[in-house]
Structure 1
Amino acid sequence: MQNNILIIDTSTEYCLISLKMNNIIYNKIQYSPCSHIKYIIKLLNNLLKENNITLSQLNLLGYNLGPGNFTSLRIGIAVIESISYIFNTPKIGVSHLMILAEQSWKITNIRNVISIIKCNKNLLYFSIYKRNYKGLWIGKKSECLLNYNDCLKKIILLQGKFALISNIDSHIKNNIQKNLNKNLQIIFLKKKISSSEDIITIISNFILNKKKIKKYYKINYIKNLFY
């Protein structure tokens, strides 16, 4: 049984650390653009000290695999991998796009979710996830890197009811709304800051469904560009 779960997410300009103990979640968050390395150990130590727990007492580690900010993402992953190596603690990495799908589900209860994260001014990280009745998200293979026009083309071909969660600009959202077909309904959501608790939910469902924990998780580079 996974009693004590530590989560780290440094994929954005925020440094997020969460600890789940006895079904209660404790959080630390610090706005730290370009300075995650300055805060992460302090936040971690404070969180453990306040809850009277040591690293050796952790049963499971979870973290955001990306995509995300290049340097900050690796800082959080390095901390998780170090703890895992020293204390032989199992770890589970979760895609940032899947985390967004979980955020969306908690708000809308819509099982079909389009997750989008801005990569740069020309490209978007894109995925379509579906939550099955066991609480697991299916859609990792849909993750790709698209330009804005191809993203729109993929969306307008869909049918059914979807939630779309993202940090895209309003003019892109308006362009999608203008081109919706009559068989497609989309509920638009803005990406939230925090995702640590969503990672806890994902990996808890993972454990509940007795999924095998990998020994190694690759950073979620999404380099493929589909046209």
Structure 2
Amino acid sequence: MSFILNIETATKNCSVSIAKDGQTILCKEIAEEGYSHAEKLHVFIEEVIAESGILVKDLNAIAVSQGPGSYTGLRIGVSAAKGLCYALNIPLIAVDTLKTLASKANVSEGKIIPMLDARRMEVYSEIFTAGLEMEREIQAEIIDENSFSEYKETLYFVGDCAEKCKPVLTKENFVFLEEIKYPSANEMSKISYDKYQKSDTVDVAYFEPYYLKDFMMTLPKKQ
């Protein structure tokens, strides 16, 4: 029997779950425009552990979303996960954010393309089969009318980019599952458990989130 705490903070969705042997027991999350991760994350962690009827010492591992995504969100999630792993002396599991997002799409054919907003017409994207096998690695790419035109099968797009990408990606085989917007710790449960069983963990001391692009600080305009 194994209990894994899953932490997903790569997007506007601050999400935490407790899973037993790969099945989610309890998940708490909130998606807000103002990114409330710093205020909500530790509260959610305490609540899911308490309400699941286990103790912190019962945790066998911590899983954290590794990115790509929000620089600040990823830092908050990874810092919390590392702190718990250090304190409890348990392994850290890194989960591909886009795979977690793709796993929310329940399809039996075609390809799943999770996309997260990277400003303007750029997105972070990856391509998976319907069985969640990775077909193309993560890229930061600019979307235009020719994007993904080489694919003839049905492509299912998920993520927070529908509003800006749907007017551009208009081919008949393109389907936007607009209800699937953010990754969730709920879907991390199976992925993290599979990694745990294979001892697919990362070094707690040296692990860094996968930002994909360098952090750019924007200075306020002079009055």
Query: Structure 1 length normalisation: TM-score?
Result: 0.79
* In 1: Cα distance, 2:153 partner to 2:61 partner: 37
Shift of 1:124: 1.1
| Structure 2: gaps (5+ residues) | 215-223
Give the deviation of 1:218 after TM superposition.
3.2
Once residues 118 and 83 of structure 1 are traced to their aligned partners in structure 2, the CA distance between those partners, rounded to angstroms, is: 29
Q: How far apart, in 2, do the equivalents of 1:109 and 1:25 lie?
A: 26
CA distance in 2, matches of 1:214, 1:186: 36
Does residue 137 of structure 2 align to residue 142 of structure 1? yes
* Aligned mates of 1:162, 1:169 — CA distance in 2: 13
Unaligned runs of at least 5 residues, structure 1: none
SS at match of 2:6: strand
**Offset at residue 212 of structure 1 (A):** 3.1
Q: Secondary structure at the match of 2:27?
A: strand
Matched residue type, 1:187? V
Give RMSD over aligned pairs: 2.6
Between 40-49 and 24-33, the greater mean CA deviation after superposition: 24-33
Higher helix share: 1
Aligned length in residues: 209
What does residue range 166-205 of structure 1 map to in structure 2 within 5 Å?
166-170=159-163, 172-178=165-171, 185-190=173-178, 191-193=180-182, 195-205=184-194
Which amino acid counterpart does residue 52 of structure 1 have in structure 2? Answer: G
Indicate the percent of aligned positions where both proteins have the same amino acid.
22
Task: Detail structure 1 runs of 4+ shifted over 4 Å in the superposition.
Answer: none
Q: After the TM superposition, which residues 22-33 of structure 1 pair with which residues of structure 2 at under 5 Å, given as runs?
A: 23-31=23-31, 33=34
Matched with 1:13 is: 12
Q: Does 1:99 align with 2:94?
A: no
Q: Give the letter aligned to residue 195 of structure 1.
A: S
**Secondary structure in 2 matching 1:30:** strand
- Residue 148 of structure 1 aligns with an amino acid whose one-letter code is I
